[in-house]
């Protein structure tokens, strides 16, 4: 078995007209969006890094650099799918993933179930093997001041020889 840990943070920018706020592959209506070279989906980025870490791979920024034009505006689901494909190619299987999104606003409760479904679909695991939680910053720090959104994720892999 192997465990991986991932983390990501993106700061807010004013005006969602620039791009939508995407978390866990879900467009969340909000007055601001996150700054990032890709679609800035902090949840998918944290999950991708957790999987890559469990495999002993380079991190998401090395594999999908923000200096590469092909990654501009890229759907972060592609990053997560890349990591999942590596798992199966190396004859491991994803037992479960668990993640926390840290955001003072917007409230994410109504969107967590769809995030779970999206993650399960991309990783090809049952939705009950996916945990998604949302926490506020209790008005403390950069999360509490609504300056950014962060996510942390863990993954458990088990060897799955064919």
Per-residue pLDDT at 58:
97
Residue 17 predicted with pLDDT over 70: no
Per-residue pLDDT at 160:
80
pLDDT 10s digits, 40-55: 999 999 999 999 999 9
Task: Name the token pair of 69.
Answer: 């034009």
Residue 35 belongs to domain with CATH number: 3.30.1330.50
Query: Omega into 56 within 30° of 0, i.e. cis?
Result: no
Cα(146)–Cα(1) distance, rounded to whole angstroms?
Answer: 37
pLDDT 10s digits, 69-87: 998 889 999 999 999 999 9
Number of domains in the chain: 1
Contact 46, 152 (CB under 8 A): yes
Per-residue pLDDT at 71:
87
């Amino acid at each position: 078995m192997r465990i991986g840990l991932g983390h990501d943070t993106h700061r807010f920018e004013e005006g969602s007209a620039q791009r939508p706020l995407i978390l866990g592959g879900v467009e969340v209506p909000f007055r601001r969006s996150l700054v990032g070279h890709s679609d800035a989906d902090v949840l998918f980025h944290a999950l991708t890094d957790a999987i890559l870490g469990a495999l002993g791979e380079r991190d998401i920024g090395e594999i999908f650099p923000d200096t590469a034009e092909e990654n501009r505006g890229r759907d972060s689901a592609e990053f997560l799918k890349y990591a999942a494909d590596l798992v199966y190619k190396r004859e491991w299987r994803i037992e479960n993933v668990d993640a926390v999104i840290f955001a003072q606003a917007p409230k994410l409760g109504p969107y967590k179930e769809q995030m779970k479904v999206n993650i399960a679909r991309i990783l090809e695991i049952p939705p009950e093997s996916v945990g998604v939680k949302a926490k506020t910053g209790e008005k403390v720090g950069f999360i509490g001041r609504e300056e950014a959104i962060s996510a942390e994720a863990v993954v458990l892999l088990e060897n799955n020889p064919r």
